[in-house]
A and B are shown apart, each in its own frame.
Chain A
Amino acid sequence: MSAIQAPRTLVRSQLCRDVRRRIGKVPQRAFSSSQYLAQHQSPTPKSPQDEPGTTHFGFQTVAEALKEQKVAGVFSSVASSYDTMNDFMSLGIHRLWKDHFVRNLNPGRNPLTSPPSSPSEPQGWNILDIAGGTGDIAFRMLDHASTINNDAHTTVTVADINPDMLAEGRKRSLATPYARSPRLKFIEANAEKLDMIPDSSVDLYTVAFGIRNFTHKDVALREAYRVLKPGGVFACLEFSKVNNPLFDAVYKRWSFSAIPLIGQLVAGDRDSYQYLVESIERFPSQEEFRDMIKEAGFLVPGQGWEDLSLGIAAIHKGVKPLR
């Protein structure tokens, strides 16, 4: 999918408001105005008719080159309070989503029930966790592999574009048994250009709450396809679209009014969380994202995704075909 993921008709007044916001410096918008903004943002189809070379940063349209910096800014500023904030914003449910995500993937190779048929075969899975800076998914993967599947060989490589998030993950890994083991590795990498990862080398590529922030999602998907072994799995946990209109109204109200406020009160950073909810709103629907995964060459299991909490988040999977 293109980064030029389309203009919802950029309402002139909204542009002005954005400009005013940046000039005014103090991002003091009443809740109601961001709510208003969200509601009057007519969901026009995402079509590639806006100017080339631009992409979305929340509801703003920015030059492609700028998005990466801006996203970096957001995550650098939230890195330290990331977990507390996630708990506040999702009422703790993000932990359930992540647990479910990992349990469903069932990482690790049980040496008792499925021993490697030849000694040359790897004894565990090689997992690449993209945008997993704080290690949330990585630690869960390793825990699941070790305790459920008795697998002491599965390795996780955590890649993140943001050194601040990686530092947070390294710090947290000290509290786990994997801190100095060869099973856990942190690398700083852009998901669109994973040059340090060889072709067809990864069993499982995961990206949890990250792909939304990529400048070129299609490029990242193709890169995932490249690094995965034939039969390897691309798995993505990401915010998605709520299907029930009634619940959607409640959810929108929560995300556009409560979340920036919680961000301001707890993390002292309203803008980053405003970006968060806007980027969620901008992310393609389940069907569209499923089709993007197919476009990259993956086979999708069943309908291609699984809704969590009525579609607030969704798990998308793709399997690289054998040939």
Chain B
Amino acid sequence: MYQKGVFLRQPLWKQRSAYHSYEHPESPPFPPAESAILSASLSHVPDHGFTSTALKLGARDAGYPDVSTNLLPRGVYDLVNYHLVTQRLALRDALQFPSDAENGKPIGVGSKVRALTLARLRANAPIVHRWQEALAIMAQPGYVPASLAELARLADEIWFLAGDTSVDMSWYTKRATLSAVYSASEVFMTQDTSADFVDTERFLDARLADLTKVGGLIGALGEWVGYTGHSVVNVLRSKGVRI
């Protein structure tokens, strides 16, 4: 017999608040059983890739029979997603920026963003030879929206941790451009054979430099359009046009 009240009871991990609180620790992003299977599966990814084999071996490591992989409704995408989410949340503790007082001079938001993006890229290093498989899974039509949402959350996390406090339109453009730069660098990294991914680092720097250039260009262009527009209006007014 089931009762009405049961429908309302939410599991703990689903009780998310709609705001970010510094006071309360966040609840874990995955329920315990899924988390056990997925974290064990990740250790099989370097050998078996993002496949159902890795999931089955992981389930077995966690003490579950093969059939328990049915606990993951999206199969291998859940494995990719687990990697994305855990690495995004790990960024918070991955880098500790020295406070301004310790450092002498403040670290700019830009260099913090660069450091955080690089840290996130390096988190892919152990599985980078399998990362193209993951990209292919993420590009499947059914998973594209979820993957893009996760990319947006990553960009947001990086800007947040870098201490960005913008409340204007640049809030959007910053996140959009960082998403583009990050995903381009990620794809570049899958082809990178240099030692310690120095080429990826250079690629990232070049793209970030592009951003500042493009940002500056857009700013200058806007200024020019505004100035020319005003001048035209004023010239016309001086000729007696009622504007």
Contacts and interface: CB of A to CB of B under 8 A. Distances in A.
B67 A291 contact: no
Nearest to A108: B66
A302 B74 contact: yes
A125 B33 contact: no
B101 interface: no
Contacts of B71: 233, 299, 301, 317, 319
Given A299-B31, A301-B70, A301-B73, A322 B64 contact: yes
A233 B1 contact: no
A218 B1 contact: yes
Interface of A: 1-2, 48, 104-107, 109-110, 113-114, 117, 125, 203-204, 218, 229-233, 235, 287-288, 291-292, 294-295, 299, 301-303, 306, 317, 319, 321-322
Contact of A109 (B2, B7, B66): B66
A48 B73 CA distance: 32
Contact of A106 (B1, B2, B33, B52): B52
Interface stretch (B55-63, B92-100, B203-211, B222-230): B55-63
16 contacts: A106-B52, A203-B65, A203-B66, A203-B67, A218-B2, A229-B65, A231-B59, A231-B68, A233-B68, A233-B70, A233-B71, A235-B70, A288-B7, A295-B6, A299-B33, A301-B73
A114 B70 contact: no
Interface of B: 1-2, 6-7, 31, 33-34, 48, 52-53, 56-57, 59-60, 63-74
Given A301-B71, A317-B70, 14 more contacts: A106-B52, A125-B66, A230-B64, A231-B65, A232-B67, A287-B7, A288-B2, A295-B6, A299-B31, A301-B70, A301-B72, A301-B73, A303-B73, A321-B33
B1 A231 contact: no
A1 B7 CA distance: 13
Q: Is the interface of B mostly helix, strand, loop or mixed?
A: helix
Contacts of A319: 33, 68, 70-71
Contacts of B57: 114
Contacts of B52: 106
A306 B142 CA distance: 14
Contacts of B31: 299
A113 B7 contact: no
Contacts of A291: 2, 6-7
B1 A48 contact: yes
A154 to B, nearest CB: 11
Nearest to B74: A302
Counting from the closest, the 7 A-B pairs by CB-CB distance are A302-B73, A231-B64, A231-B68, A2-B1, A113-B53, A301-B73, A233-B70
Nearest to B7: A291
